[in-house]
Amino acid sequence: MQVEHPLPSTTRDTRYAICDTPYATRDTRYATRDTRYAIRHTPYPLILPLAFLLLVTLTLAAALGAVYVPPGHILGILSRQITGSDLGLNFSVGEQAIILSLRLPRALAAALVGMALAGSGVLFQGLLRNPMADPYIIGTSGGAALGATIAMLLPVTLAGARFGLIPVFAFIGALITVLIVYRLALVGGQAPITTLLLAGFAVSSLLAAVMSFLMLMSGRNIPNILIWLMGGVSTSGWNALAVVTPMVLAGLAASFFFTADLNALLLGEEAAAYLGVSVERRKLGLLALGSFLAATAVSISGLVGFVGLVIPHIARLILGPEHRRLLPAAALLGGSFMALADLLARVLLAPTELPVGMITAAIGAPFFLYLLKKSKTPYTF
C-alpha cells in the first residue's frame, strides 16, 4: 500500500535545501581555511609580488614631485648612468639632476629605513612574543634620541667622515642603551622577558628626562632637535647610501640565520632550550641585531614610529608566524610603506614638507586599530 508523503514536494525540497545549507557553508569555510593554509605553507609566498610593489613605489617616489619625471625618462637616466646608453629616450639635464641628486637617493634611503625598522620589529616581536613590541620598546629610541641631542649641542662637526655627528651618536647611544638594559635585566644569568621590558621602559623614561633637560638648557637648538625627533629622511646623497645600504642588508642577512631560533622561541624559552637552543645567547644576539637595524634606521631618519609595529603585524596576519617567510616579506613591505610615506610627506602640502614620522603615525595608527577590530581570531605567535 502506497502512503502519501505528508508534505508537498515543494515544501519537502525546501526543507532539504535548508538542511543541506550548513554543509555548504562548512565546505566553504574549509576551502577558505585550506587556501589560507596553502598560502602560509608555500615556500616564500608573495616575495616576488612584494618585491615588485617595492619597485613600483620607488618609481613613483622618483617620478612625483614639483616637477613630474615620466617613468620612461627615469629608466633612460638609470640606463645612461649604468650602461652609458639612454635607450633612445629624450630627457633633460634638469630631469637627470633631479632624479640622481635628489629623489632617487632619498627614495632609496626611505626604503632602507622601512626595511630596517620592519626587520627589527620582526625580531623584537618574535623574541618578546608580544605583537605590541617594536624596535623602540627596550630603549633603542631613547638612546638614539639622547645621542642625537648631544651631537646637536656640540659646537663641532666630524670633518672628513661620511656621516655627521648626529647619526654616529644616535647609533652609539642606541646600542649602548640596549646593552645597559640587558645587563639590568639579568637575573641569575638570565634575562626574563618581563624584566627586560620593565628595564627598557625605565631606562627610556630616564633618557627622555635627560634629553628634555639638555634641550631646556640649550634653548636655541630646540627647533632643530624637535624636527629631528619628528622623523625625516635626511640622506640626500649617494655617499651616505654607500655606507647605510650594506649595513641594512648585512643586518637583515644576519637576522635570517636566527629565524629557526625565533621559531623555537615561539614555543617558550623552556621548550626552545629543550630543542637545543642556547636561549640566553640567542636572546642577546637577537637584541643586538634588532638594535643594530633600528639604530641604523634612526641614524638617517630620526624617530619614525609605527613602521616596526604595524608592518610585521600585517605580514604575520597574511603569512603566519614562520619567520623564514615573515622576515623577508616584512622587510619588503616595510620598504614600500616607508617610501610611500616619504613621498606623501613631500607632496601632500607642497611646497611645505611634513615630517615623515607624522605620516607614518597618521597611516599606521588607524590601520593598526582597524586590523585589531576586524580580526575575529585570537592573535597567536
d(CA 94, CA 60): 18
Give the integer Cα–Cα distance in Å for 339 and 350.
17
C-alpha 337/C-alpha 365 separation (Å) is: 13
Please answer whether residues 68 and 62 qualify as being in contact, where contact means their C-beta atoms are separated by less than 8 angstroms: no
In whole numbers, what is the pLDDT of the chain averaged over residues?
79
Q: What is the mean pLDDT of residues 329-357?
A: 91
Give the tens place of pLDDT for each residue, 2-12: 444 444 444 44
pLDDT higher than threshold 60 for residue 201: yes
Q: Could you tell me which residue, 168 or 209, shows the higher pLDDT?
A: 209
This prediction has a pTM of 0.82
> Over the Cα atoms of the chain, what is R_g?
25
* SS3 at position 187: strand
**What pLDDT is stored for residue 216 in this prediction?**
82
Q: Is 120 exposed, middle or buried (0-12, 13-18, 19+ CB in 10 A)?
A: buried
Q: Is residue 119 over pLDDT 90?
A: yes
Write out the three cell numbers for 298.
634612526
Give the pLDDT band of residue 334 (cuts 50, 70, 90): very high
The structural domains of the chain, ordered by start, are: 52-64+105-374 (1.10.3470.10)
Q: Counting every residue, how long is the chain?
A: 381
Short-list 112, 144, 105, CA closest to 298: 144
pLDDT digit string, tens, across residues 21-78: 443 333 333 333 443 444 445 556 678 899 999 999 999 999 998 889 999 899 999 9
For residues 151 and 17, the model is more confident at 151
Give 252-264 pLDDT, tens digit per residue. 999 999 998 898 8
